[in-house]
Chain A
């Protein structure tokens, strides 16, 4: 090729014949496709995460056993890296698409009303970026709290390879009044984000069929409710349950070797 592209990246793209990918990822439809795919994969993560977290209701042994199991998995760093990439892609595209969408109408309407019947005043689909940003903030806090353990205000138990006292740590965080409120709000917004996002992702992926769409929509709604209510139940109920049966009472001091 005589074009003699100075840009090594573009010549690599040419050699690999990846122009189509660049075009797809720079188009509105392609971006929404990637957002849909990443969103649905993150939904998959949420299912696993919620299933694990619901073990909090089973008490310290059940939860800590689960925590130990998962922390001892060798592929955990890979999963975490994958999750991070999914989040970053989803967030990056959300920012780009939102900026472009805002730019598509610089002059706003003086008056604007929905023509959809029975639309609530602030439907979740109208502020996905806001709900997404709130969820992001919540996730960051959540990681700081429980992944990094960055809570100088709380007296976390010493970390022990063999006996991660995750239950104790979680209860400590959720019992903090401020954190409790933040976790409740965060999970509610997660549910709202999903209430539009889950069903919407299917359309962005082109999955719409008269036979299946009603079911997909219903399932997406149920999914959003289950995830939202499921996660929200933890900050609401766990501190109460833990207060009734203090965790210390259940901790069995490991026998000396």
Chain B
């Protein structure tokens, strides 16, 4: 039962090449032929890199790890869209059957001051870690946890928390936003923890700390365009941003946190 051989795609790639953080960078054009439609987008880049190596050129650097859509490591702009044309999909889960023979594909790194390009398509997203460091946790030392069922959590709340917690931290929201805002990312963590009683004690300090760091990192402000939600591979809802705003205002106006 061998499937009939499908004819592959011939593609023109315009890939951003930049040798290091300080270099200026430019687009380079590459031709690929006979790309299987069953390939993932990253496997197509693997093929490109094999060809570059065989020609004695340096392969294109791009971040990737799990290749099953959960680690959040991969992510590039594909024809001007983060993670390509599909909704709720990471770059590694985008398949070449979404493209047509003869297509030109423009591949760019995420662009934001808070995500400097390290090389080619690889960017530095440690700003996200620094935001989490400013309160994106529950302060509970190992060993001091109470019995797990001692604090019931209504299922509706738990599901809300889970939906927000599904964020994979890939940065597509920042990449998609015309203001390079990290609000969707921050809101996902704030919303996740504010829906659970365990996260309740630090609600105010968490949101103030995280927003403060978000601003210091140089991310833009939210202008409610909705591009982040559309680009999010983890289906994080824009609704969380309203939760974040509410939490912030509440913390600023009504909490005792200085």
Can you show 20 pairs from A to B with CB atoms below 8 A apart?
A: A23-B212, A24-B252, A27-B215, A27-B248, A28-B219, A29-B211, A30-B252, A104-B112, A104-B113, A104-B114, A105-B112, A106-B113, A107-B111, A110-B27, A112-B80, A115-B82, A125-B226, A126-B178, A126-B225, A206-B244
Nearest chain B residue, comparing its CB with the CB of A208:
B242
Q: C-beta contact mask, B110-153 vs A, less than 8 Å → 1, else 0?
A: 01111000000000000000000000000000000000000000
Contacts A28-B214, A126-B178: A101 and B111 contacting too (C-beta < 8 A)? Answer: no
B residues contacting A by CB (< 8 A) are 14, 27, 77, 79-82, 85, 87, 106, 108, 111-114, 176, 178-181, 183, 208, 211-212, 214-215, 218-227, 230-231, 238-239, 241-250, 252-253, 258
Task: Determine whether the beta carbon of A196 is less than 8 Å from that of B224.
Answer: yes
Q: Decide: A203 near B227, CB < 8 A? Known: A101-B221, A113-B79, A115-B176.
A: no
Q: Could you tell me if B220 and A206 are in contact, using CB atoms closer than 8 angstroms?
A: no
CB of A16 within 8 Å of the partner chain: no
Do A28 and B222 touch across chains, with their CB atoms under 8 A apart?
yes
List the B side residues contacting A108 at CB < 8 Å. 111
* 17 further contact pairs, Cβ within 8 A, besides A104-B180, A206-B247: A27-B248, A28-B215, A29-B222, A32-B221, A32-B223, A103-B113, A104-B179, A110-B108, A111-B79, A115-B231, A123-B225, A128-B223, A199-B224, A203-B241, A205-B246, A206-B250, A210-B239
Q: Are A105 and B180 in contact (CB under 8 A)?
A: yes
Interchain residue pairs A-B with the least CB separation, the first 4: A206-B246, A208-B242, A104-B220, A111-B80
A23 to B257, CA, bound (A): 12
Helix, strand, loop or mixed for chain A's interface?
Answer: helix
CB distance from A140 to the nearest CB of B (A): 24
Who on chain B is nearest to A32 by CB?
A: B221
Chain A residues engaging chain B, CB cutoff 8 angstroms: 19-20, 23-24, 26-33, 97, 100-101, 103-117, 123, 125-126, 128, 196, 199-200, 202-208, 210, 213
Q: Closest chain A residue to B117 by CB distance?
A: A107
A200 to B, closest residue via Cβ? B224
Closest Cβ of chain B: how far from A25's Cβ, in Å?
A: 9
Q: Does B212 lie within 8 Å of A27, measured CB to CB? A: yes
Contacting pair B224 A204 (CB below 8 A): yes
Q: Which residues of chain B are within 8 angstroms of A125 by Cβ–Cβ distance?
A: 223-226
The verdict on A208 contacting B243 (CB below 8 Å), with A101-B178, A104-B220 known, is yes
- Bound Cα distance from A111 to B226, whole angstroms: 19
| CB contact between B106 and one of A31, A103, A110, A117 (< 8 Å): that residue | A110
**B63 CB, min distance to chain A CBs, angstroms:** 18
Contact of B227 among A107, A114, A196 (CB under 8 A): A114
Q: How far is the CB of A253 from chain B (nearest CB, A)?
A: 55
**Which single residue of chain A is at the shortest CB-CB distance from B255?**
A20
Contact A109 to B212, CB < 8 A, known contacts A115-B231, A116-B226: no
Q: Which residues of A contact B85 (CB under 8 A)?
A: 115
Task: Report if A113-B81 is in contact (Cβ < 8 Å); known contacts: A28-B211, A29-B211, A125-B225.
Answer: yes
User: How far does the alpha carbon of A125 sit from the alpha carbon of B228 in the complex, in Å?
Assistant: 13
Report how far A197 CA is from B68 CA in the complex, Å: 38
Closest to A96 in B: B221
B54 → A minimal CB distance (Å): 28
Residue of B nearest to A28 (CB): B221
Chain A residue with minimal CB distance to B25? Answer: A107
Bound-state Cα–Cα, A106 to B81, Å: 18
Q: A20 and B245: CB pair below 8 A?
A: no
Q: Which of B87, B113, B252 contacts A20 (CB 8 A)?
A: B252
- The answer to whether B221 touches A109, judged by C-beta atoms less than 8 angstroms apart, is no
Q: How far is the CA of A109 from the CA of B110 in the complex (A)?
A: 9
State whether B223 touches A200 (Cβ < 8 A).
Answer: yes
A104 partner residues in chain B, CB cutoff 8 A: 112-114, 179-181, 218-220
Q: Which residue of A lies closest to B27 (CB)?
A: A110
Determine the residue in chain B with the shortest Cβ distance to A112: B80
State in angstroms the CA–CA spacing of A228 and B208 once bound together.
38
In the bound assembly, the distance between CA atoms of A125 and B225 in angstroms comes to 6
Q: Are B179 and A29 in contact (CB under 8 A)?
A: no
Complex: chain B residue closest to A25, CB-CB:
B252
Given contacts A105-B111, A116-B227, A100 and B249 within 8 Å (CB-CB): no
**A104-B114, A203-B245 given as contacts; is B179 within 8 A of A31 (CB)?**
no
Nearest neighbor of A124 in chain B, beta-carbon distance: B225
A227 to B238, CA, bound (A): 27
Whether A27 contacts B219 in the complex (CB less than 8 A), given A109-B111, A113-B81, A125-B224, comes out as: no
